[in-house]
Amino acid sequence: MSDSLGKLSSELEYIIDKTWNLYVTVTDFQAQSQPRVDQVLNEIIGLLKDVDQMKDQFQDIHIPGQLLNYVDDLKNPQLFTRDCLQRTLERNEEINGKNETLAKFADTLAVELSSQFPTQMAQYRLWKSKQSSIDQ
């Protein structure tokens, strides 16, 4: 897979280089440049055919649609990774806060239940300790 990615990367870089050459030739177009334009266009077409033939080697690669949106919006794809990690960290902090709140609530509830139902809570703690020893 690594070799295939390297070859694909090289092919794409070469296509970009050839496209740039075509751009330079076309921006200063003169009639005698036509054979060169035709040659470069044919080279680009050949390179695109090569890339198309490689597509079967990359069937198991999935690209998130959001990443393609970043590229379509002319944003750096690395920003997608940064933004994704930032959203994950924010969500993690939110979940951790909820977990802490639930743990405090459980502690408060246990204290209140113990004061209102001491016998039942003692039985519950005994049952809970037996369950945790079975689970281990």
Task: Round the average pLDDT of the chain to a whole number and report it.
Answer: 91
pLDDT-based confidence at residue 1 (cuts at 50, 70, 90): low
Q: What is the pLDDT of residues 20-41, one digit of tens each?
A: 989 988 888 888 889 989 999 9
Closest CA to 53 of 11, 91, 95: 11
Q: Label each residue of 62-108 as H, E or C.
A: CCCHHHHHHHHCCCCHHHHHHHHHHHHHHHHHHHHHHHHHHHHHHHH
pTM of structure: 0.50
Half-sphere exposure of 37 (CA within 13 A, CB side): 12
